[in-house]
A and B are shown apart, each in its own frame.
Chain A
Amino acid sequence: MALKKLDELIEDFSLFEDWEERYAYLIECGRQLPPMVESLKTEGAIVKGCTSRVWLVAERRPKGRFHFIADSDAQIVRGLIYLLLCAYQDKTPAEIAGYDIESAFERLGLYQHLSPNRRNGFFAMMEKIRTLASTSPDRP
């Protein structure tokens, strides 16, 4: 999966005039996210959500980089996951901890999805990634 940089996506999103264009693009981003193989969708990989399911598997790559495989049964959530991976994929714990995801999502016009009250599992997934990164033993 060739991920765009989140900054490029923010530029794309800034061109949109209304929510419909933003959401249509988000849905398109969701289509770019490769589906997770069924065997990885174990109970342990489920991130607690309410209205939709999110699965997340984290692998460690050389130099302590995190590689994530994630999926959801909801398309818009898949789009959000795609955006999140644009920021976090194959990054070191320090890079993940240092990235200002709030401000990025604010510029995307999708800030409301970072609220813990959105019970679609996306927020919980983001929290899980950040916890993984911040508790990583090799974090400088």
Chain B
Amino acid sequence: MALPYQEPADMTIFRADFPVLAHKMNDRPLAYLDSGASAQKPLIVINAIRDAYESHYANIHRGLYHFSQAMTYEFERARKKVADFLGVDDEREIVFTRNATEGINLVAQSWARTALKPGDEVILTGMEHHANIVPWQLLRDQIGIVLKMIPVREDGTLDLAVYKGLLSERTRLVAAVHVSNALGTVNDVAALAKTAKTFNPAIRILIDGSQAVVHRAVDIPAIGCDFYVMTGHKLYGPTGIGALWGRYDLLAAMPPYQGGGDMIERVTFEETTYKDPPARFEAGTPAIAEAIGLGAAIDYVRMVGIEVIAIHEKQIYDYTMAQLATVGGLRFYGTAPDKAGIISLTADWAHISDIGMILDQCGVAVRTGHHCCMPLMQRFEIDGTLRASLGLYTNKDDIDAFVGALKKAKEMLG
């Protein structure tokens, strides 16, 4: 039986796990509100990387000696942790990548490049990160596929009525973001998948979960998708490591993405045979310590509790919106009821670039710009927004510093 949620006594106990948060920026206490770009790292992650290098480092999948086997064990255990975290039973379906971007490029160049024919259609959404637009444009230029887009409504949600009309006999893939990095909108990706699969079960679904896995529990089987990508550095883990989940039968039928060591069965100069997934897609020495660090990050998030994080961030989000209402002259982008950890705004009294510079002086770290979502910005007819993104360590002091700095900026610029 699920126990009723009780607010943790003090989220500050977790804040102390992040050494960087004790540092100052521009001589002011750091209010780090850019976790959506990259999250800070808890000591357990930093120590896991340090420990990997310090106590038994060696290359993996190669040596018969103890250190190599120990590292291989830890690396593969990290794969299992990623699988468990995403609700996946079979860890062979988890391919380590550099990040979500590489996961999408892998699907585009391995699966789609061989499975799609000229004139086949890929449906994207109008709120995609460039990482889920440009790989498909590259593929379009290579093999002549057609890209379609689900429009974004004024409140930052997808226009699902238009989506249904976009599905056609030629639709082969729907590639959509789970949680928008620029708006915070949580898309009902299970419904997107169901609509497509009802129309034609052969349509494949790819979900970009970079922002989603950070803010809420993700259960891939419940989504009903075929591919899911995530990145480690937004999940309190290291940079340079991410994961692609793919259904095993799809992965097994896909050609390699890159060639090199560790992905081959047998090589002669005439012919090479490849290993089964996931090794087939992991050419060369991978980011070993980073994968172990990602495993530690997942341990950490599970220790805190992803549900606890979600509730905490919702409370901080509500507090932020209430405080921001006292600033005046702000316009918010993404006003859907179901949002995760992201506040995106412009001001009618100053340019966001000016505000960002004043916030920097106040020790407040936010992102200003197009958030790698230029088509979405064009949709709202703006150059960019100022985005505050929340993490498990975000507290009311951060928000008070943010709102205070906005008021200061308004006073100076308005």
User: Footprint of B on A, CB under 8 Å?
Assistant: 19-20, 23-24, 27, 50-53, 73-77, 119-120
Which residue on A lies nearest to B27, using beta carbons? A19
Contacts of B166 in A (CB 8 A): none
In the complex, 22 of the A-B residue pairs with CB atoms within 8 angstroms, ordered by the A residue number, are: A19-B26, A20-B408, A23-B412, A27-B354, A27-B412, A27-B413, A50-B369, A51-B368, A52-B353, A52-B354, A73-B351, A74-B351, A74-B353, A75-B350, A75-B351, A75-B354, A75-B413, A76-B353, A76-B354, A77-B353, A120-B353, A120-B357
Which residue on B lies nearest to A50, using beta carbons? B369
In contact, A23 and B361 (Cβ under 8 angstroms): yes
- Distance in angstroms from B358 CB to nearest chain A CB is 7
Which 3 A-B pairs give the minimum distances between C-beta atoms? A52-B353, A74-B351, A74-B353
In contact, B369 and A23 (Cβ under 8 angstroms): no
Apart from A51-B384, A74-B354, A75-B354, what are 20 other A-B pairs with CB-CB below 8 Å? Answer: A19-B26, A20-B361, A20-B412, A23-B358, A24-B412, A27-B412, A51-B352, A51-B369, A52-B351, A52-B353, A52-B354, A53-B383, A73-B351, A74-B353, A76-B354, A76-B357, A77-B353, A77-B354, A119-B369, A120-B357
Determine chain B's interface SS by DSSP, over half rule.
helix
CB of B242 within 8 Å of the partner chain: no
In Å, the complex CA distance between A50 and B385 comes to 12
Contacts of A73 in B (CB 8 A): 351, 383
How many residues from B make CB contacts under 8 Å with A? 18
In Å, the complex CA distance between A68 and B352 comes to 26
Contacts of A76 in B (CB 8 A): 353-354, 357-358
**Chain B contacts with A in 376-390, Cβ cutoff 8 A:** 383-384
Proximity bits, B391-407, A CB within 8 Å = 1, else 0: 00000000000000000
Which residue on B lies nearest to A122, using beta carbons? B353
Contacts of B353 in A (CB 8 A): 51-52, 74, 76-77, 120
Contacts of B126 in A (CB 8 A): none
CB of B151 within 8 Å of the partner chain: no
CB of B209 within 8 Å of the partner chain: no
- Distance in angstroms from A81 CB to nearest chain B CB is 13
Chain B CB within 10 Å, residue with most, of A20, A23, A51, A76: A51
Contacts of A51 in B (CB 8 A): 352-353, 356, 368-369, 383-384
**Chain B contacts with A in 357-379, Cβ cutoff 8 A:** 357-358, 361, 368-370
**Chain B contacts with A in 251-268, Cβ cutoff 8 A:** none
Contacts of A120 in B (CB 8 A): 353, 357
Which residue on A lies nearest to B383, using beta carbons? A53
Which residue on B lies nearest to A30, using beta carbons? B354
Chain B CB within 10 Å, residue with most, of A19, A27, A53: A19
Contacts of A19 in B (CB 8 A): 26, 361
